[in-house]
Amino acid sequence: MADTTHEARLAVLIDADNASAQHIERLLVEIAKYGTATVRRAYGDWTGPQLAKWKSELLAHSVQPIQQFAYTTGKNSTDSALIIDAMDLLHGGTVDGFCLVSSDSDFTRLAARIREQGLMAYGFGQMKTPKPFVAACTKFVYVENLGGKEVAAKQKATPEAAETAPAAKAKAKPSLKGDAKLTTLLSEAVETAADDDGWAYLGVVGSNLSRLASDFDTRTWGYSKLTDLLRAHPGYDVESRSPGDGKQKMWAVRSKPRK
């Protein structure tokens, strides 16, 4: 009999040349939502000074550094080493999914290959990550949404970076209806799940949103929960409804009737 209590075993593979060490703690907390990080590896040339900030974080979070020398100028040997190890793990059958930590589009085909094999491909990178890599992942999380030291450091470094801060997101809250991407996603997700009266339960709506956009995250718009985002959106009604047969009430949403 299958073990229904089995928690997903995840391989966390970090492109240290392309990811910040300042965010590793919150990153691992986020990854814990999806399973257990049984494999933790960070790839880069650890003999150089550019990865110095990573070294203390590797020890603190039990991440294994994988040394990869840059054999020739202009060739990213780190990417190749990460991809080779990922394929070994994929065919070894020891993990249920992968967490690819990078904003590099070079991992697009790797993410797609992981999904083709029936495993979960979680991506973690900056909002500048190329869309093909984002779309290739089962779920993509922008590190700016995780907050913490990295966001604070960017705010201090450049005024423009402050746009990713919670304060900037809060300022954008009143204009939710003006966000074309969000409007389209919510409309499709709600309409697909709606009953004859137009009501859709939030659990189903959330699942639809994840399928429609791998990078959908309510934190992008400054809200921690889908319920809060929909309550704030002027185009939707949210209320607690019973599915019938004496079942416990659940949150449901519908488009507001046009006046």
CA distance 17 to 185: 33
Other Cβ atoms less than 10 A from the Cβ of 164: the count is 20
28 close to 60: Cβ distance less than 8 angstroms? no
CA distance 256 to 167: 28
Tokens representing 12 are 């966390």
Give the DSSP H/E element, type plus range, for residue 252: strand 250-255
133 close to 105: Cβ distance less than 8 angstroms? yes
CATH class of segment(s) 9-164: alpha beta
Task: Report DSSP letters for 122-141, one per residue.
Answer: EEEE-TTS-HHHHHHSSEEE
CA distance 206 to 186: 9
Confidence of residue 222 (pLDDT cuts 50, 70, 90): very high
Average pLDDT on 227-253 reads: 88
Percent of the chain with pLDDT over 90: 68
Residue 64 pairs in a beta bridge with 41
pTM for the whole structure: 0.82
**Is residue 43 packed enough to be buried (19+ CB in 10 Å), middle (13-18) or exposed (0-12)?**
buried
Write down the domain spans for the chain.
9-164, 171-255
Average pLDDT on 72-87 reads: 79
Tokens representing 76 are 């990213």
Percent of the chain with pLDDT over 70: 84
pLDDT of amino acid 165: 45
Give the DSSP H/E element, type plus range, for residue 64: strand 64-67
Phi, psi of 72 (to 5 degrees): -140, 155
Confidence of residue 48 (pLDDT cuts 50, 70, 90): confident
CA distance 188 to 182: 10
128 close to 103: Cβ distance less than 8 angstroms? yes
For the cut 90, the answer to whether the pLDDT of residue 141 exceeds it is: yes
CATH class of segment(s) 171-255: alpha beta
- The position carrying tokens 């002027």 is 234
